[in-house]
Amino acid sequence: MGFSLLACAVALADGANYTLGLIAVVDIAIYLTSYFFRLRLMTRLAKSNDRGNTIRYFVEEQITATPLLFFVLVLLACFGRGEMMSSLRQGFTSLPGSQAVVVALLIGASYAALCVCTTFIFLDRRENTFCIPMHSASSLLSGIVAAAMLAYLYGQPPTSTAQYASAGLMIIALAFLSPLHHIRWSRQRVERALAESQLIALGSVTGSSDESGIFGAPPAKVPEKPKSSARQRLFLFVCRANTLRSPMAQQICAAEIASCLGVSIGQLEAAGIRVLSAGIAARPGEAMSPDGERALTEIGVPVQRHTSQPLTVNLIEQAVAIYCMTEEQRRAVINLVPAAAVKTHRLDPDQDLAESHEPGAITVFAEQVRELIRRRFETEMSFSWLPR
């Protein structure tokens, strides 16, 4: 942000090389304000795992905004006054029959293609913090390059030193925003991979072919760590109050992972695995609902002691996967940590898991959650290390 503001200051200080009139200032203000609301709407309505929802937003925006933009230009051409509006009218009346119409259509088609690419960049659910600034800055930097080419090839006024300095500061700002800010995360991945390879190598060196153990006695069954678990994995379930849905999902998931690994639930942490739950609006220290405990017992899941906790940024950042009961809760997680969008999912991708206290409904909910978790085990990379 500091380098971006410094780039603006350097560019604006170069006032002798351009004129920024009142209309231009108003236009820029409207443009920036519109993008502020547009990006917020995109984040809330279209940035999700549902590709169909994203495409639908894109189509609806285009079929609304494009005709509206054209209609506004027609109104300005018909009723506007002054030299600028006269030029606009000339574009509607004289340009279609002139030799420049082909060039104008190529410019329009190129800008339309740019608009499509831009919109899909903005709709990318993974992050706003790099793709959008990179796209916007590339437009400005291309303007600097184009101006330099016009000066060199056609004798146009040269680009000032201040403009080049401003462009350099923008490039530095982009470097700070670039994937370089993932260096620590990338280093941790490399370190984890090295540690895993060392564990595998150690196992192959120290492994014994004598399956009967010492003096012919059967060997004690030692819980085997998941092969890719050099670091602890945290799986996080999120609901509203953290007293029913998410703690039930937490305990069902813990039981399923323990069953897959052939260990007890109490041994999961020693095996490098944690399964936790939290609430968007949880009050700390509350126990699980008795109805939830009863439902877990009915489906054969051991009931563990539970105390509610609020969702925190630290929990979100530690988790390798986050599962929410509703789409609203998923968006709440992403609003707290936008970079967590790629690992935050609705437990049921097709619908919200509503809270119900009707007789029998909680047991049905527990069975549904267990089926959804088992389905996740089969389809997601997060659980690819589980034995099948």
Q: Which domains does the chain have, with CATH numbers?
A: 2-180 (no CATH), 233-383 (3.40.50.2300)
How many whole angstroms separate alpha carbon 12 and alpha carbon 383? 53
How many whole angstroms separate alpha carbon 44 and alpha carbon 54? 11
Q: What is the pTM of this model?
A: 0.44
The mean pLDDT of 190-204, rounded to a whole number, is 56
The mean pLDDT of 314-328, rounded to a whole number, is 94
Burial (CB count <10 Å: 0-12, 13-18, 19+), residue 27:
exposed
pLDDT at 225: 40
Token pair of 108 as six digits: 């329009």
Give residue 264's Cα distance to chain centre.
Answer: 34
Predicted confidence (pLDDT) per residue in 141-170, tens digit = 888 899 889 999 988 888 888 889 999 999
Q: Strand, helix or coil at 188?
A: helix
Percentage of the chain modeled with pLDDT above 70: 83
Instruction: Check whether 208 has a pLDDT greater than 60.
Output: no
Taking a C-beta distance cutoff of 8 angstroms, is the pair 200, 228 a contact?
A: no
pLDDT at 216: 35
Bridge-based pairing state of the strands 233-239 and 321-324: parallel
pLDDT at 249: 96
Instruction: Check whether 130 has a pLDDT greater than 90.
Output: no
Give residue 139's Cα distance to chain centre.
Answer: 24
Taking a C-beta distance cutoff of 8 angstroms, is the pair 240, 209 a contact?
A: no
**Ramachandran class of 216: left when φ > 0, alpha when ψ lies in -120 to 50, beta otherwise:** left
How many whole angstroms separate alpha carbon 388 and alpha carbon 174? 44
* CA torsion through residues 33, 39, 40, 42, sign: positive
Q: Strand, helix or coil at 388?
A: coil
**Lowest-confidence region among 81-90, 156-165, 166-175, 229-238:** 229-238
How many whole angstroms separate alpha carbon 273 and alpha carbon 383? 11
Buried b / exposed e along 278-300 (16+ C-beta atoms within 10 A): bbbebeeebebbebbbebbeeee
How many whole angstroms separate alpha carbon 124 and alpha carbon 131? 9
Q: In what order do the strands lie in the sheet with 321-324?
A: 273-279, 233-239, 321-324, 344-346
Which pLDDT band holds residue 83 (cuts at 50, 70, 90)? confident
Which pLDDT band holds residue 191 (cuts at 50, 70, 90)? low
The mean pLDDT of 22-34, rounded to a whole number, is 90
pLDDT at 197: 62
**Lowest-confidence region among 6-20, 220-234, 346-360:** 220-234
Burial (CB count <10 Å: 0-12, 13-18, 19+), residue 42:
buried
The mean pLDDT of 258-279, rounded to a whole number, is 90
How many whole angstroms separate alpha carbon 236 and alpha carbon 322? 5
How many whole angstroms separate alpha carbon 163 and alpha carbon 146? 13
Instruction: Check whether 322 has a pLDDT greater than 90.
Output: yes
Amino acid at 204: S
More confident: 309 or 122: 309
Instruction: Check whether 231 has a pLDDT greater than 70.
Output: no
pLDDT at 86: 86
Give residue 267's Cα distance to chain centre.
Answer: 33
pLDDT at 189: 60
pLDDT at 126: 62
Contacts 24+ apart (CB under 8 A), 98-101: none
Mean pLDDT, the chain, as a whole number?
Answer: 82
Main-chain phi, psi angles of 60, to 5 degrees: -65, -40
Give residue 192's Cα distance to chain centre.
Answer: 23
How many whole angstroms separate alpha carbon 58 and alpha carbon 152? 40
More confident: 388 or 224: 388
More confident: 199 or 375: 375
Taking a C-beta distance cutoff of 8 angstroms, is the pair 162, 17 a contact?
A: yes
